[in-house]
Structure 1
Amino acid sequence: MSEKVLDIHEKPASGKWLALSLQHMFAMFGATILVPQLVGLSPAIALLTSGIATLIFVVVTQGKVPAYLGSSFAFIVPIQVATETGGIGSAMIGSMFVALVYAIVSLVIWKTGHNWIMNILPPVVVGPVIMVIGLAVAPTAVGMASRIDIDGVSTYSLLHFSAAIVTLAAAIICLMFFRGVISLMPVLIGIIIGYLYSAAIGILNFQPVLEAKWFAVPEFLIPGVDYNFVVTPTLLFVMVPIAIVTISEHIGHQLVLGKVVERDFIRDPGLNRSLLGDGIGTLISGLLGGPPKTTYGENIGVMAITRVYSVYVIVGAAVFAILFSFMGKVMAMIATIPTAVLGGISILLFGIIASSGLRMLVDHQVDFDKQRNLVITSVILVIGIGGASINFSDTFHIEGMALAAIVGVLLNLVLPGREKNKLDDVQEEPLWTDKEN
């Protein structure tokens, strides 16, 4: 292990602190603002709540875990479905109930220990569900990249598709041919290059940026003020089951982060505390109108490269995110990003999400010669990607990704031949990591 530059509780000098915190903010920036762009939420609120959620996480984990919380991609489809059935307020309510699941799981872990949870969420269940998360939205990414709306009719546009290709190419080049921190920001750099190309070919409307104020309060979505707080069974079954995946993702990130900084975060401050911090952050985000949160592999990658593990740097990044959310012109610029650019970056990002599910199966050496593993994986993939649903009534149904996650857990519990999975066997990697020379 390389020698630490700054350990968890070491405070950097002021100038260095500023630079290191900005670096972390930009590492998470692209992915965090992309999620709200895809689901119809405010990027400013997403940025604001990511900073608030991170500060909450640091407090709940007693300042022992240097992790940044950003927008979760696992909830893109559930938010879209919840919004279609009950408005954007439904998605926010669902987010709050996801936070409640985190709190309940945290309490159970606190009382009973942590080993049981990976017996319920083994790689043979979580891996295929992660694949569904990426593949289920693949048509959306391609449609955004290549089609525009003209008088209510979706039409193919080669010009717009070229912007998507340029964006995608820039992100791939950044990911494959650069080293260090640059390689950890392919989303942000791809969007910037795509934005500049869009301006050059004339598909960018920059006028809203010129008209925007330098300072602007984010557009909050407050329950009881901006929408009615109504809970339906369908809403719960659309959003809540996705916690199966995000809890597993959280555990994996804690293990990798612990390996990077040479700490055992599962035991100190404890998985119960880190899950609770994640859950409270998601709850506050939902109350303000932001997407659910998750720890970010990009920021773990930054720490692995810089060997700076200081929690003060993470706190600084959170403060910068909060400040940026009030910069009206910056947020207006984000709102003017062409759909084709978002589609181009989504092709890569959704594909990487799907591939990370496949990687989980490979890394954990899931044996597909065993009929049990083959059955579980096959059923999850077809139900999730095919959009299967169970309709109990006109107002209560379970579909797609949520149904796939529930069925996967049930199959794992009832089919014979289940092997116990130990928590220490989980070795997840960040989404993007530093390359070997």
Structure 2
Amino acid sequence: QAPPAQAPPGTAPPQYYYPPPQAQPPPSGYPPAGYPPAGYPPAGYPPNPYGAPRDAPTTAAPAAAAMAAGPTGSKPVSPDDLREYKKLQDIIRKLKTEGVEEKLAREQSTLRTVKTSRDQTQKELEQSKRKKIELERELTKLEGKKRLMAKMTASKKDRTEHDLDALTLKIPELEEKYTKLCSKYNTQSLIVEDLETRVTELKRAVKSTEVLFDRVFKGPNSAGTEETKRLEYSMLELRPRIAEMKTKEHTYKEATTLVGGAHQCFLQAQQAMHQAYKNSGMDVMGNFFTPGPAFQGPFDAAADIKKRQNVKKSSALVKQAGDNLEKAKMILPEMPEVNTDVIKKMPGMLMDLLLDNMISDLRARRKITQSMQLLAKSEKECQACKQWTEQKLSSECQVPIAALELELNTAKAQLESQRNAIMDAGLKTLG
């Protein structure tokens, strides 16, 4: 095949003209019956530009039945959702106006008081009945004594008869009181049950409203405005931050509890060591009353035993404090140091047991004094560490959590107000 002829240089290329496209008739049976559906496309929808002349007027299909429109920027809310919202709000408003939750708390408190009085009266009544039976048996035995024994037990018989008469009068009063309290308890129980039912109805209405809001204001057909979406996003962002801060708060609380326990151990160890110091003084004085250097009098021995017990108790408490501080340090590595070497310098009582004399007692007393000084220093360091952990807990956990929760609650209240405004605006259009 020969190549197409080229136009001579300097001449315009040839122009080719084609006939305009002819409109083709639609195939048989197209479009199907009932298509497009009524109300499609919606009002304002851009028309299909294909197959229509450029200058032809644009006509839109009749719009569907208009739904209740919300504030600017929100999509309309269906009438069914608006009617459901109105029904739920009427229930919530009615029950909250009646104050069913506050009434329930008061009536439950009254019910507990009546129950306590009823149970106490029942217990007293049962005790009185048992006591009456015992007195009747005792009186029967006293009446069966011989003449001589009856004279000797006359005063006891009189007392028994007096107590029996008193119980005979008291028991009917208790029975009447118990009956009234049972009746009052039953009546109060019915009141509480009725209020519990109404509170349950209130909670169910609130929950149904939340479900309705989730359906109306979430998803691709959300009726929310830009402001409601911003508040929703803010709440979604705040919740994980609060959860993270509460986890941190739990860790700081655990460390604070451990340090507080260590501080209490140091205080108790100081008290025990102070008692050991007193016992050591009595032990030294006891040496003046012993018959010889190889003997130990009862006064000296008692003070010596108490001294060893208190030193042992103090050592155990300091060890417990050291364990607590070590665990707290693992949780909070930046926590200030507390010197727990005092446990290594606790006075040993072995030589004092083997060589119990004036010299060993004075040596033990001097070691106890040194331990008291070390304990006082460690206690102050532990107290400072406790204050540091409490301040950290407050500044890094509790205060930020309170601020975040306040922000969350504020956003929640604003979101609820915005949503209610949208729904109320829709209700006005329903008439």
Shorter-chain TM-score tier: under 0.3
Query: Could you say which structure has the higher helix fraction?
Result: 2
Quick one: higher RCO (CA 8 Å, sep 6+), 1 or 2?
1
Which structure dedicates a bigger proportion of its chain to strand?
Answer: 1
**Structure exhibiting the larger radius of gyration computed from Cα positions:** 2
Q: Could you tell me the TM-score, scaled by structure 2's length?
A: 0.20
